[in-house]
Amino acid sequence: MAKKLTTGFGKPVDNDQNSQTAGPNGPVLMQDVHLLEKLGHFDRERIPERVVHAKGAGAHGYFEVTADVTPYTKAAFLSEIGKKTEVFARFSTVGGEKGSADAERDPRGFAIKFYTEEGNYDMTGNNTPVFFIRDPLKFADFIHTQKRNPKTNLKDPDMFWDFLSLTPESVHQVTVLFSDRGTPATYRNMNGYSSHSYVWTNAAGEQFYVQYHFKTEQGIKNFTAAEADAMKAKDPDHATRDLFEAIERGDFPVWRLEMQIMPVAEAEDYRFDVLDITKVWPHADYPPIVIGRMVLDRNPENYFAEVEQSAFNPSNFVPGIGPSADKMLQGRLFSYHDTHLHRLGTNYHLLPINAPKNAPMASYQRDGAMRHDANGGDGPNYWPNSMGGPAPDPSSADPGMPVTGAIGRTEYTHPNDDFVQPRALFRDVMTAEDRDHLISNIVGHLSNAQERIRLRSCAVFYKVDPEYGTRVAEGVGVDVAEVKRLAAMSAEDRAAATA
């Protein structure tokens, strides 16, 4: 026999097809509490969409340690070869709304929640090793330009390229994004990078800057622009479908975790600023070391409960892993928790997908909307107390990083330029075919912007490499001599000349 249907409060429902009316043809009655409850709940089904990373897919699995990293970190979940930790991963596009197509050109979010015995550790990366901007004060402006025009409600190539060409630090990420890596064939066929540098601390208190690279064992596979366009029309949910179906048939996706590790003392004189997210650490300088693997082997039972309500937060650290002073990371440490408070509510950390299921949670936080656990029971709700309440453990602290200098609003000062690394990507890493695709992908998009914005954008590409700037200029129909003249100017003069 089928389970008995009840209201949300557990009362039996006698009939779920006919509303209560006064006589067979009369009006619906206020006293039909089952109908009122059903409609009222339906009216409130939607929660705020994520401002970024709204469209996503997720899966459960585990992380397994395959190398001894105790010389670098005391994190308990990384303490032994063979040790496994439960994870939940979510992949996403960034700019599109919840119903947008998976095949859009966009970075892909690559977020992992490790349910460790020392609390949850979240890694919120992307499928690209760098980012468009390196100061969080620019983030809202940047995202506005990737979204819809306030008047037309359409995506706007002028906004998109105006901001990026006035922000030349973005050209590294723009070059990755407009390569075919900007349209990964599936979520399984892409890498995940921490992009930021983080700080690992070992048991002796020694500190290391680290970068995480989750390398796909399925192999990198990308769509060309034409393939991505065709997929958007054919199946807007293709990557969500691919991940779900692969796991359902037992074809579990695997990523190897490779780490770049740098003793903190080496950072000061390093040729690139390790706190600048628009830069990578070249592999020749810091060869990645394989330390583990992530396997996704279980689909969510319920999308809303597990994927939509999952809340990743780069400030969820465990002892032995902490933030660097990367300014973008510092902004994210605030913003993720803040947006989850808005999107999910004060007690979002108690939702089953977000709760620290392998560590006891014992805080003095109390009450708030939708507090649905025992709320600390009859225990004390203040610290310090002499009532046997949980006490801080000083041994869990990591040593602080020394800082000096006057307070101020300062540009990054490390001596390097924004064009060296995209130049290496364009000249040395990309094949001739990759470069052809890069140029035509940019031309297809930039052609729709105003001429002065096309000129300014081409000048930035020209600074990366004259061939790069020239080919895009020819493709979008602007004067190459003018592009060359603009490229020779300072960023401020170029902005003024193309205002």
Mind telling me the catalytic residues? Answer: 53, 126
Tokens of residue 198, six digits? 């983080």
Q: Which residues bind ligand NDP (CB under 6 A)?
A: 129, 176, 179, 181, 191, 220, 280-284, 421, 424-425, 429-430, 434
Residue placing its CB nearer to ligand NDP in the complex, 242 or 418: 418
Beta-bridge mates of residue 212: 259
Q: Which residue number, 238 or 423, has a Cβ lying nearer to ligand NDP?
A: 423
In this complex, which beta carbon is closest to ligand NDP, that of residue 22 or of residue 284?
A: 284
- Closest distance between ligand NDP and the C-beta of residue 213, in Å? 6
Cα separations in angstroms, 299 against 2, 64, 84, 296: 26, 19, 18, 8
> What is the C-alpha separation between 418 and 174, in angstroms, rounded?
12
Closest CA to 298 of 241, 253, 238, 354: 253
What does the angle CA 463 – CA 467 – CA 472 come to, to the nearest 5 degrees?
85
Enter the tokens of residue 297.
């082997």
User: Least distance (Å) from ligand NDP to the CB of residue 179?
Assistant: 3
For the chain, the residue count is 499
Which pair of structure tokens corresponds to residue 25? 């043809």
Which SS3 state, helix, strand or coil, does residue 64 take?
Answer: strand
State the minimum distance, in angstroms, from the CB of residue 328 to ligand NDP. Answer: 17
What is the DSSP-derived secondary structure letter of residue 209?
Answer: E
Structure tokens at 295: 């396997």
Indicate the residue among 183 and 330 with the shorter CB distance to ligand NDP: 183
Write down the least CB distance from residue 362 to ligand NDP, Å: 39
Give the list of residues 6+ apart from residue 134 with CB closer than 8 angstroms, or none.
Answer: 169, 276, 277, 278, 326, 327, 328, 412
155-159 contacts: CB < 8 A, separation 24 or more? Answer: 157/445, 157/446, 157/448, 157/449, 158/449, 158/450, 158/453
Nearest CA among 413, 497, 426, 415 for reference residue 459 = 497
HSE of 379, CA atoms in CB hemisphere, 13 A: 17
| Residue number, 275 or 455, with CB nearest to ligand NDP | 275
- Among residues 35 and 420, whose Cβ is nearest to ligand NDP? 420
| Rounded least distance, CB 425 to ligand NDP, Å | 3
